[in-house]
Structure 1
């Protein structure tokens, strides 16, 4: 299982939001580079960075910080937040990102997203946010009136291989991941690689996800709140 440390960037600072609420922000570090260096020096080779300004405003004002991390540390980075067009996706990948994660684009600009899959294949990851089992979008305020099969199958047909799936009710809560949800997803879509996101609170949660043979898990708040150490995270990590 790939344990992927998360860095959420807002106005150039490392932060965490509670359940995606921009009014509930905790700042952990004023230097994204210093934060990323901790993960690299511990032995992680790939990190997850969310551009919260991009997600909210559609402007990649944190891109300079992401590029600095890549250039200074030589670490692999996957990023999401505000990717709304084919040109956005292409630009980010050409800037040196290993992977891009698209969520709302897959709902609102489906043909453009399918074209990204055609062009970039496994470098394009679907960010699938789920609310009561349905795909949520628009800042998690709306849900898609489609089954997961109807939503995912066209993408699978065009080369989708990896899905970062967040249970909104668990995001940033430290209440534990939704193990039953991931079990169902893996059973229903055995050819997809699922990355769990949301709710991880301790090493026991990582152990449970590993036992379910999850492809990967993103760890954010549990690390920043000192519920998980880097050594504990590495114990369950298989390098990419």
Structure 2
């Protein structure tokens, strides 16, 4: 299983939110590039970056920070947060990002999603953010009418290769992850599934790795010291 340490960016700083609530924000570093370098030093290969301002605006306000992370960290960087146009996709890919994540746009504009999959292939992943069984959109501020499993089936049929699934109710709480959800997703679908939200302990990492998931995102637990990244990387290499 691949580990994706996470950096959420607001105004060039590495932050974490609780359940996606911008009012519940903790700034962990004013230098995300150094944070990313630390992840690389601990043995990470990948990095998951979310532009939280972009998630609201649909633009790329932290593009220069992300460009610097790509250039200096030594990590393969995937980016999500308000990617709703081909122009923004191109901007990130031109900056050296290896994969972009479509969330709201994947739900609200399936024609656009299909066009981008056809054009960019596995450089397009879909973020499925789940609340009460339904897919949330617009920075988790609205619920769509799409159920999690129906939507995953639809995007798999469209040719998406990677789904990043976040249980919003678990995100940022350090109270454990939704193991049942990821088990069901891994059994139902053939795409690469990345678990996100509430991965709190090294045991969570071990259990997810035993499910043969493609990946797991580690967020707040890294910043609080609940999970040692080097230990988690070693564990997933053994699994």
Q: State TM-score, norm by structure 1.
A: 0.93
* Structure 1 counterpart of 2:13: 13
Shift of 1:10: 0.5
Q: CA separation in 1, counterparts of 2:215 and 2:135?
A: 20
Shift of 1:155: 2.6
Q: CA separation in 2, counterparts of 1:35 and 1:149?
A: 34
* Structure 1 counterpart of 2:219: 220
Aligned 8 A contact 1:196 1:216 in 2: yes
Aligned 8 A contact 1:3 1:238 in 2: no
Q: Higher mean Cα deviation, 52-61 or 198-207?
A: 52-61
Shift of 1:59: 2.4
Shift of 1:144: 2.7
Aligned 8 A contact 1:85 1:109 in 2: no
**Aligned ranges for residues 58-77 of structure 1 at < 5 Å?**
58-77=58-77
* Structure 2 counterpart of 1:116: 116
Q: Higher mean Cα deviation, 23-32 or 131-140?
A: 131-140
Shift of 1:16: 0.3
Q: Higher mean Cα deviation, 78-87 or 216-225?
A: 78-87
Q: Higher mean Cα deviation, 228-237 or 118-127?
A: 228-237
Q: Higher mean Cα deviation, 20-29 or 227-236?
A: 227-236
Q: CA separation in 1, counterparts of 2:60 and 2:87?
A: 13
Aligned 8 A contact 2:209 2:236 in 1: no
Q: State TM-score, norm by structure 2.
A: 0.94
Q: Could you say what the CA RMSD is over the residues aligned between the two structures, in angstroms?
A: 1.6
- SS, match of residue 139 in structure 1: coil
| Alignment: residue pair count | 238
Q: Which runs of no fewer than 5 residues in structure 1 stay unpaired? A: none
Q: Higher mean Cα deviation, 229-238 or 78-87?
A: 229-238
Aligned 8 A contact 1:78 1:100 in 2: yes
Pair 1:227–1:20, CA change in 2 (3 A): same
